[in-house]
């Protein structure tokens, strides 16, 4: 028996709550954007006259999977809540409904001051300082993104002349325990950013054998002596542009 219960998991046994056994597949697009930008999702749904492919609901409220047409292709999108447990639960359900190819877009805190607000980051690895990933893949310090997807995302941005960096993120369950000592430690191991879901998304994608990549944009700054919000959530143009970037990359998967 492990001393730490977070390390006690079976990876071959079927879950009692196996999504594929509980959820009936629907006629949903295989391409899906997971967007943390609720106001953008609502705007897109209204302006594009999106249909609700699945009227999904959790205890906290509605999490519909919307469908629109983009460049002659079907595209789904949904808001995953905040935090790895709900976000990966909704990802699990989207997979069970029939979505297979995902691009995530969201914001993050930065650990390097030169990452100005709005700078795009392509996630190629995540430090697993959360809980969900340990239920899906064997314990390790980091989890790596699918490198073919990372290269596709990089090429897409390069072709359009959009500045970006590729790097490692720190996924944590405890934003109010991001101490200076922990920030310094994560910086030393190469983390550029901090957020709450990336490691878990990557773990679920590996376990379920679906395609998933993640864009982040630089938000609040944790690199200095004092935390700086930098008004990152008010950058409407960045958030909307990133949604459509994610959509176009997703349709190339």
pLDDT of residue 60: 87
pLDDT of residue 2: 67
Give the separation between CA 32 and CA 111, rounded to whole angstroms: 29
pTM for the full predicted model: 0.95
15: Cα within 13 Å, side-chain hemisphere = 13
pLDDT of residue 61: 86
pLDDT of residue 232: 75
Give the separation between CA 40 and CA 46, rounded to whole angstroms: 10
pLDDT in tens, the chain (253 residues): 668 898 888 888 889 999 999 999 999 999 999 999 999 999 999 999 999 999 998 888 889 999 999 999 999 999 999 999 999 999 999 999 999 999 999 999 999 989 999 999 999 999 999 999 999 999 999 999 999 999 999 999 999 999 999 999 999 999 999 999 999 999 999 999 999 999 999 999 999 999 999 999 999 999 988 898 888 777 788 999 999 999 999 999 9
3-state SS record for the chain: CCCCHHHCCCCCCCCCCCHHHHCCCCCCCCEEEEECCHHHHHHHHHHCCCEEEECCEECCEECCEEEEEECCEEEEEECCCCCHHHHHHHHHHHHHHCCCEEEEEEEEEECCCCCCCCCEEEEEEEEEECCHHHHCCCCCCEEECCHHHHHHHHHHHHHCCCCEEEEEEEEECCHHHCCHHHHHHHHHCCEEEEECCHHHHHHHHHHHCCEEEEEEEEEEECCCCCCECCCHHHCHHHHHHHHHHHHHHHCCC
215-245 burial, b at 16+ Cβ within 10 Å, e below that, comes to: bbbbbbbbbeeeebebebeebeebbebbbeb
26-250: CATH superfamily: Nucleoside phosphorylase domain (3.40.50.1580)
Main-chain dihedrals φ then ψ at residue 61, nearest 5 degrees: 135, -160
Which residue in 135, 146, 31 sits closest to 89, CA to CA? 135
Query: How buried is residue 3: exposed, middle or buried, by Cβ count under 10 Å (0-12/13-18/19+)?
Result: exposed
Tell me if 212 sits within 8 A of 189, measured CB to CB. no
């Amino acid at each position: 028996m492990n001393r730490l219960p977070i390390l006690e998991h079976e990876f071959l046994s079927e879950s009692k709550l196996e999504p594929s056994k509980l959820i009936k597949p629907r006629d949903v697009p295989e391409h899906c954007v997971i967007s943390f930008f609720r106001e953008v999702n609502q705007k897109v749904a209204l302006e594009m006259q999106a249909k609700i492919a699945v009227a999904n609901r959790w205890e906290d409220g509605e999490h519909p999977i919307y469908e629109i047409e983009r460049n002659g292709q079907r595209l789904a999108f949904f808001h995953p809540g905040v935090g790895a447990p709900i976000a990966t639960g909704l990802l699990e359900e989207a997979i069970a409904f029939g979505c297979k190819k995902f691009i995530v877009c969201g914001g993050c805190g930065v650990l390097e001051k030169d990452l100005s607000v709005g700078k795009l980051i392509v996630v190629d690895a995540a430090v697993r300082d959360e809980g969900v990933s340990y239920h899906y893949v064997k314990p390790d310090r980091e989890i790596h993104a699918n490198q073919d997807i990372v290269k596709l995302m990089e090429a897409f941005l390069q072709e359009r002349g959009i500045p970006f960096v590729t790097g490692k993120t720190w996924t944590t369950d405890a934003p109010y325990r991001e101490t200076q000592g922990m920030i310094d430690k994560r910086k030393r191991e190469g983390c550029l950013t901090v957020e709450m879901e990336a490691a878990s998304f990557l773990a679920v994608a590996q376990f379920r054998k679906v395609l998933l990549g993640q864009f982040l944009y630089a938000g609040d700054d944790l690199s200095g002596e004092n935390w700086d919000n930098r008004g990152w959530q008010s950058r409407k143009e960045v958030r909307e542009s990133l949604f459509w970037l994610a959509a176009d990359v997703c349709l190339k998967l």
